[in-house]
Structure 1
Amino acid sequence: MTRQSEGSGLFPAWAHGDLDAPEALGFTAWARVWTGLGVRDASQETHEQLIRHYDEPHRAYHNRQHLAECLQVRRLVNAACQAPAEVDLALWFHDAIYDPLRSDNELRSAQWLDEVARDSGLDDETRRRLYDLVMVTRHDSAPASVDEAVLVDTDLAILGASLERFEEYDQQIRREYLHVPMSIYRQKRRQILEGFLARGRIYTTAPYFDAFEQQARANLARAIDRLD
């Protein structure tokens, strides 16, 4: 297996839910992001509240494993950002609210982040950028800035993970949608995966494209074939 087919070694080799990433999700990492935004006293209560949300039992994929992977991939790929701390804070919140029965998860997550940012004293322009960063993870429009592109590529890095991790991810998504009949799920899932595969490029930024594009296309094609 080539280095490229392994995701260039940049996707954490965590599988089967066996994830122990205290450094990635600990309060020290959380506080460091806020320090980068000029906030000296990060809220421990908000940090604990966020982790509780990511640990909700109905989350099979959109959980602390996904959050930790995103934060670690962002650090390992280290694509150039205009405001790295803003990208990292948006990653912490991008799936803060997640209910597979609702379609406004990104909106509610962005609103929560905006409330926390306001209470922390961040200015209106920074709050607007943070709000837009979370909202772009709806993946229904092109990123409008370099930072939005980095955040979207980080969120989609799972598509270019190793075969083993991608297979686990695919199963995790199905578990989150067990309430959907299999025939309908297969149809909708196929539409989503084909949408990614039909893009001229899945990853907007060069570092993510180089690391994950080839493997992502192989993973998507394989998953789509299984849905026939």
Structure 2
Amino acid sequence: MLKQAFITLLSNYTTDVGYIKSLWDDVVKYHSKKNRYYHNLSHLEHLYHKLTEVKNEIKDWDIVLFALFYHDYIYNALKQDNEEQSAKKAVGILSSLSIEDNRITLCSDIILATKGHHISENKDINYFTDADLSILGSDWKNYEEYFKNVRKEYKYYPDFMYNKGRIKVLNHFINMPAIFKSEYFYKRFEAKAKENLQQEIDLLAK
């Protein structure tokens, strides 16, 4: 499904089948690296499904899809500039497809918004960050699998360091006025997300 969505998307901007294939192979390569336990193709698939639910509310669907495929293109648990580097990659790809500058900027803005997940004046950005965080409001079994996979990505850090940092991140979300910025995602996931986050904090604090 992801591959077909990518091919269909790129076909709107180029007829170069070889180029499309090389770009897809690149996305697969980067998202299949051995240290990716959560930020992988399965995450993109989940995000795609969640965004599809609100497709009719999104103004620039193509740009949202470009952001989906490139928002975690660069992911290194030891670095702090993953979003910036991923946005840079996306800008390069979209520029090569002769996409308008304002749309390229939107794609970059969406990717950069996944760093803090703060509310935006742009609804497309809010829908994207909400879908990106929707795992937080899943049932406990899926949420537990999610945070265990995140821990694997940070395996270089000992528990005392990881737990402290993770609790800080979880509290960041709990203390937000609202984790989810759109009514659609707020109604479905807000209460459960805060419950899950608190439960994980309690486990880490033991």
Give the TM-score taking structure 1 as reference length: 0.84
Larger deviation, residues 183-192 vs 139-148: 139-148
Residue 162 of structure 1, CA deviation: 1.5
Match status 1:39 vs 2:13:
yes
Report matched runs for 1:154-169 at 5 Å.
154-169=131-146
Residue 31 of structure 1, CA deviation: 2.3
Structure 2 regions of 5+ residues with no counterpart? Answer: none
Match status 1:97 vs 2:74:
yes
Distance 1:77 1:192 in 2: 27
- Count of residues in correspondence between the two structures: 202
Distance 1:175 1:125 in 2: 37
Distance 1:40 1:74 in 2: 24
Report matched runs for 1:2-17 at 5 Å.
none
Amino acid at match of 2:13: V
Distance 1:72 1:140 in 2: 19
Distance 1:39 1:216 in 2: 38
Report matched runs for 1:1-228 at 5 Å.
23=1, 25-26=2-3, 28-35=4-11, 38-41=12-15, 43-78=20-55, 80-139=57-116, 141-228=118-205
Larger deviation, residues 166-175 vs 80-89: 80-89
Amino acid at match of 1:29: A
Structure 1 regions of 5+ residues with no counterpart? Answer: 1-22
Distance 2:130 2:167 in 1: 20
Bigger fraction of residues in helix: 2
Larger deviation, residues 166-175 vs 39-48: 39-48
Q: Provide, for residues 169-190 of structure 1, a one-character-per-residue CA deviation record: whole Å limited to 9, x for no partner.
A: 0101111111111111111100
| Residues 227 and 79 (structure 1), Cα distance of their counterparts in 2 relative to 1, 3 Å cut | farther
Partner SS, residue 53 of structure 2? helix
Partner SS, residue 171 of structure 2? helix
Structure possessing the higher relative contact order (Cα contacts under 8 Å, 6 or more residues apart): 1
Runs of 4+ in 1 over 3 A off after TM superposition: none
Give the TM-score taking structure 2 as reference length: 0.93
